Structures are given as structure tokens and as C-alpha cells.
Structure 1
């Protein structure tokens, strides 16, 4: 085993700076949160899941019961679900989701309602779609490059 010791204040300072930043990934996690909230919000406009598959249309019973004063779009009766979309970034992770417990029914589907995915490509495995994964990697790459 070979050990090399570098006695350089400049190198030590840069390494300390990188170590501080890497122990607190909050800026990168915030960037991921913002990116994913934007991507999920866009799914309400395109009415597609993370892989780009169109959401199933309403069942006839849902269409018949839809309120006249609603927004007229799938998963967007009054905008309540989208209004509850948020993220919370920490030092090592970010949570992205909805402050509405019924959002899980849309993410997984039910016996009587088809899945209309919002967050994951596969909710059981928790995997992102390839496009979402690529977007997260861009955020992380940009963060690493900003460290200099």
C-alpha cells in the first residue's frame, strides 16, 4: 500500500470545501424537488403518466357525476390535488408528493379505478421513468460542476 501525503493549504482548503458541500446536499435536493414538481405539474396538462402514456379517461359514472363548476379535466376537479403538490429538501434526500392522502389511489389505481401515475414509473418498485431519471441526473451533474 502506498500512502501519499499532500501538504498544501490550497488543496486542503478545496477538499474541506467539497467535503462540507457533500455532507449537505440541500442545494442539489432542492433542485431535484423543483425539477420533479415541475414535471409532475406538467402531467396534469398533458394528462399522461411519467412514461408518457395517456391517463385513462373517466368512467361513465365519473363523467356523469362531475360537477358543472369543475375544471373539466381528469384528476383536476377543482385543482385541489395539484395545489397540494410539494417537495421538502433535506441534507441527503428530498420528498416529493401530495398533501392529499387520496393521491395514492391515483398513483397505484384501485380495483375500480385505473392507475393514473403522477410520481413514479412503477409505484411498487419506486422507479422513476427514464426521462425523470435523466432530469434528476442533470440536476446532480450541474450541482457537481458548480462545486468547481
Structure 2
């Protein structure tokens, strides 16, 4: 035969098919992995209140003198009674994970409110090291 050609022999076709079917089955029910990710992100987000920093590692803006004068706990930003951090929770949906707080003022602190002079102090988000852990959780789930 003139010209060039390539021949491919598949070895282990049965094992490959079984592995792909297993991967498809595990990938169709992500709830266990999402639950693990939710628990991880909940703890990590709560740690931000202790560290007083945004997901990107930047420290939160300090409290204004006006706010300091009203606070009982002057040493902690976003922590007077602990309600905000205590209301953090996650919810699972169909292949979906949502993390946040149901407190109305959570958005004010996350995004700031310029009209009242309140700077953004983001506590929700995913840090680079958290992305690595999320991928590890998903990898473990799919193995």
C-alpha cells in the first residue's frame, strides 16, 4: 500500500468503559462533594472574621472613630455580637451550592455603602488556596 497510514489498537477497552461509566455515575450526583465544599467554605469564611481579612488576603478597613465610639468590642471589625458570622450558612440545590447570610446588613458589609461612609469589607468569596481545596474535594469525589 502506497502512502502513509496509522493503526490504533485499543487495549483494555472494557476497563476504560467501566472507568468512564463510573466517572459518569459519580459526576451525576455532586451533592456529597458540594456538601463537603460547603462545610469547607463555611469554616473558611468564618475564619475571615477572626483574621479580619477579605478572601484575597487584604485586611478589612479599620473602623471609623464614629463607629468605634458606639461599639462595645472595639478590637474586632464586623463583630459586635457575632450575629453575622453566626448566620453564615450554605444551601445545596441541584448541582448548586450557595453560601451567605440572610441578614440584610450582610450586603452592606460585603459591598459597602458609600452614602453612609461604610467601606466594603468582603467576607464572601473564594481565595486561591480555597480553589485548590475545592478541586481536591471534587477530585476525591470523582475517584
Match for residue 132 of structure 1? 130
Which aligned pairs between 1:43-82 and structure 2 lie closer than 5 A? 43-66=48-71, 68=72, 70=73, 72-82=75-85
Alignment of 1:1-148 (within 5 A): 15-66=20-71, 68=72, 70=73, 72-111=75-114, 112-120=117-125, 128-144=126-142, 147=143
Aligned residues: 132
> Rg: which structure is higher?
2
Using the alignment, how far apart are the partners of 1:33 and 1:40 within structure 2? 10
SS in 2 for 1:64: helix
State the Cα RMSD in Å.
Answer: 2.5
Unaligned runs of 5+ in 1: 121-127
CA deviation after TM superposition for structure 1 residue 84, in Å: 0.4
Partner of 1:125: none
Residue 53 of structure 1, CA deviation: 0.8
Instruction: Report deviation, 1:19.
Output: 2.6
Q: 1:37-78: per-residue Cα shift (whole Å, max 9, x none)?
A: 111000011101111111111111111111x3x585211110
Write the distance in 1 (CA, Å) between the matches of 2:74 and 2:35: 30
**TM-score after normalising by structure 2:** 0.79
Q: Is the 8 A contact 2:110 2:124 kept in 1?
A: yes
Partner SS, residue 94 of structure 1: strand
**Structure 2, gaps ≥5 residues long:** 1-9
The alpha carbon displacement at 1:107 in A equals: 1.1
